[in-house]
Amino acid sequence: MSLLKDRDRIGADLLDRTVRDLYAMGLDLHSVAGRLDVDRRQAVLEAVGRIDKIIKDVIGTVLDLRTRPRGSDRR
């Protein structure tokens, strides 16, 4: 049981750090975008959109893993 708790804790910590860092990166890029010419701004904002999608995908995957009964396999 301890191994499962450790795994869940590590997963939660990793998720928290990853999402927080990606979100901060998106904010930084969004801030920089305002100082760029139109073409470069658009490219940076598209990158921000991709980061946002990654965040949503990671959170969705983790939530799916947490709601799936233990021992079940997605494959």
Which residues have CB under 8 Å from 43's CB, separation 6+? none
Structural domains counted in the chain: 1
State the pLDDT confidence band at 74, using cuts at 50, 70 and 90. Answer: low
pLDDT above 70 (res 45) = yes
**pTM to 2 decimals?**
0.76
Average pLDDT of the chain? 88
Asked whether residue 7 is domain-assigned, the answer is no
Q: Is residue 37 part of a domain?
A: yes
Q: State both tokens at 61.
A: 């995957």
In a domain, 10, yes or no: no
User: What percent of the chain clears pLDDT 90, i.e. is strictly above it?
Assistant: 56
| 56 falls within a domain | yes
- The CA-atom distances, in angstroms, between 20 and each of 17, 26, 27, 28, 40 are 5, 10, 11, 12, 25
Expressed as residue numbers, the domain containing 36 is 21-65
Residue with tokens 């890029």: 29
